[in-house]
Amino acid sequence: MSSMVWRCLGLWFVCLSAHAALWQGLYRAGAEVNSFQPCPGNLVYWLDGSNDVALSLREYALKHTVRPYQPIYVELVGELRGKQRTGVAAGYDDVLQLQSVEAISLQLPEICQQLPPEG
Protein backbone atom coordinates (compact mmCIF):
# COMPACT_ATOMS: atom_id res chain seq x y z
CA MET A 1 0.00 0.00 0.00
CA SER A 2 1.23 3.46 -0.91
CA SER A 3 2.14 5.96 1.77
CA MET A 4 0.13 8.72 0.07
CA VAL A 5 -2.02 10.92 2.26
CA TRP A 6 -5.63 11.29 1.06
CA ARG A 7 -8.06 14.07 1.97
CA CYS A 8 -11.63 14.06 0.65
CA LEU A 9 -13.06 17.53 0.13
CA GLY A 10 -15.67 19.57 -1.68
CA LEU A 11 -18.08 18.86 -4.48
CA TRP A 12 -15.94 19.48 -7.54
CA PHE A 13 -13.23 17.01 -6.83
CA VAL A 14 -13.45 13.73 -5.03
CA CYS A 15 -10.25 13.04 -3.13
CA LEU A 16 -7.02 14.95 -2.97
CA SER A 17 -3.77 13.11 -2.50
CA ALA A 18 -0.48 14.77 -1.82
CA HIS A 19 -0.15 15.14 -5.60
CA ALA A 20 -3.37 14.65 -7.57
CA ALA A 21 -7.16 14.80 -7.44
CA LEU A 22 -10.11 13.44 -9.38
CA TRP A 23 -11.78 16.44 -11.02
CA GLN A 24 -15.26 16.50 -12.58
CA GLY A 25 -16.33 19.26 -14.94
CA LEU A 26 -16.32 20.78 -18.40
CA TYR A 27 -13.50 20.66 -20.90
CA ARG A 28 -13.30 23.09 -23.84
CA ALA A 29 -10.87 23.06 -26.75
CA GLY A 30 -10.33 25.52 -29.58
CA ALA A 31 -7.96 28.12 -30.94
CA GLU A 32 -5.74 29.01 -27.97
CA VAL A 33 -8.26 27.37 -25.59
CA ASN A 34 -7.54 24.23 -23.61
CA SER A 35 -9.59 24.70 -20.45
CA PHE A 36 -11.25 22.85 -17.61
CA GLN A 37 -14.06 24.25 -15.44
CA PRO A 38 -15.06 22.20 -12.36
CA CYS A 39 -18.76 21.46 -11.79
CA PRO A 40 -19.99 23.29 -9.84
CA GLY A 41 -17.65 26.24 -9.83
CA ASN A 42 -16.67 29.53 -11.37
CA LEU A 43 -12.92 28.96 -11.64
CA VAL A 44 -11.45 28.01 -15.01
CA TYR A 45 -8.09 26.27 -15.34
CA TRP A 46 -5.72 25.99 -18.26
CA LEU A 47 -5.29 22.27 -18.93
CA ASP A 48 -1.62 21.52 -19.49
CA GLY A 49 -1.37 19.83 -22.88
CA SER A 50 2.24 18.74 -22.80
CA ASN A 51 1.57 14.99 -22.57
CA ASP A 52 -0.06 12.38 -24.83
CA VAL A 53 -3.14 12.10 -22.59
CA ALA A 54 -3.89 15.83 -22.87
CA LEU A 55 -3.29 15.82 -26.63
CA SER A 56 -5.64 12.84 -27.06
CA LEU A 57 -8.36 14.59 -25.02
CA ARG A 58 -8.01 17.73 -27.15
CA GLU A 59 -8.21 15.72 -30.39
CA TYR A 60 -11.30 13.87 -29.13
CA ALA A 61 -13.06 17.12 -28.20
CA LEU A 62 -12.27 18.81 -31.52
CA LYS A 63 -13.41 15.75 -33.49
CA HIS A 64 -16.67 15.06 -31.60
CA THR A 65 -18.10 18.53 -30.97
CA VAL A 66 -20.23 20.42 -33.45
CA ARG A 67 -19.47 24.01 -32.56
CA PRO A 68 -16.30 25.82 -31.51
CA TYR A 69 -15.55 25.69 -27.78
CA GLN A 70 -18.47 23.33 -27.12
CA PRO A 71 -18.02 21.90 -23.62
CA ILE A 72 -17.79 18.19 -22.96
CA TYR A 73 -18.06 16.53 -19.55
CA VAL A 74 -14.88 14.89 -18.28
CA GLU A 75 -13.55 13.25 -15.17
CA LEU A 76 -9.82 13.82 -14.90
CA VAL A 77 -6.98 13.03 -12.56
CA GLY A 78 -4.70 16.00 -12.29
CA GLU A 79 -2.78 18.38 -10.10
CA LEU A 80 -2.93 22.16 -9.79
CA ARG A 81 0.46 23.65 -10.65
CA GLY A 82 -0.02 27.35 -9.88
CA LYS A 83 -1.19 30.43 -11.73
CA GLN A 84 0.94 31.44 -14.70
CA ARG A 85 1.97 35.06 -15.19
CA THR A 86 2.79 34.85 -18.92
CA GLY A 87 1.62 33.03 -22.04
CA VAL A 88 -1.81 31.68 -22.97
CA ALA A 89 -2.34 30.19 -19.49
CA ALA A 90 -1.94 33.60 -17.80
CA GLY A 91 -5.62 34.46 -18.24
CA TYR A 92 -6.76 31.42 -16.24
CA ASP A 93 -7.17 30.88 -12.50
CA ASP A 94 -4.53 28.11 -12.34
CA VAL A 95 -2.90 25.38 -14.45
CA LEU A 96 -4.21 21.83 -14.10
CA GLN A 97 -1.56 19.25 -15.02
CA LEU A 98 -3.47 16.33 -16.54
CA GLN A 99 -2.42 12.82 -15.57
CA SER A 100 -5.32 10.71 -16.86
CA VAL A 101 -8.83 10.90 -18.29
CA GLU A 102 -11.27 8.67 -16.40
CA ALA A 103 -14.51 9.50 -18.27
CA ILE A 104 -15.72 11.56 -21.24
CA SER A 105 -19.30 12.37 -22.24
CA LEU A 106 -20.91 14.72 -24.71
CA GLN A 107 -23.95 14.74 -22.38
CA LEU A 108 -23.54 17.32 -19.63
CA PRO A 109 -24.79 16.35 -16.14
CA GLU A 110 -27.40 18.67 -14.67
CA ILE A 111 -24.90 20.12 -12.18
CA CYS A 112 -22.75 21.29 -15.12
CA GLN A 113 -25.53 22.70 -17.29
CA GLN A 114 -26.01 25.78 -15.11
CA LEU A 115 -22.37 26.91 -15.09
CA PRO A 116 -21.65 30.45 -16.25
CA PRO A 117 -19.87 30.49 -19.60
CA GLU A 118 -16.10 30.51 -19.50
CA GLY A 119 -14.44 33.87 -19.71
Indicate the pTM of the whole model: 0.80
Cis peptide before 40 (omega within 30 of 0): yes
Q: Which residues pair with 37 in a beta bridge?
A: 26
pLDDT (tens digit, 9 = 90+) per residue, 38-90? 998 889 999 997 789 989 999 999 999 999 899 999 999 999 999 999 988 99
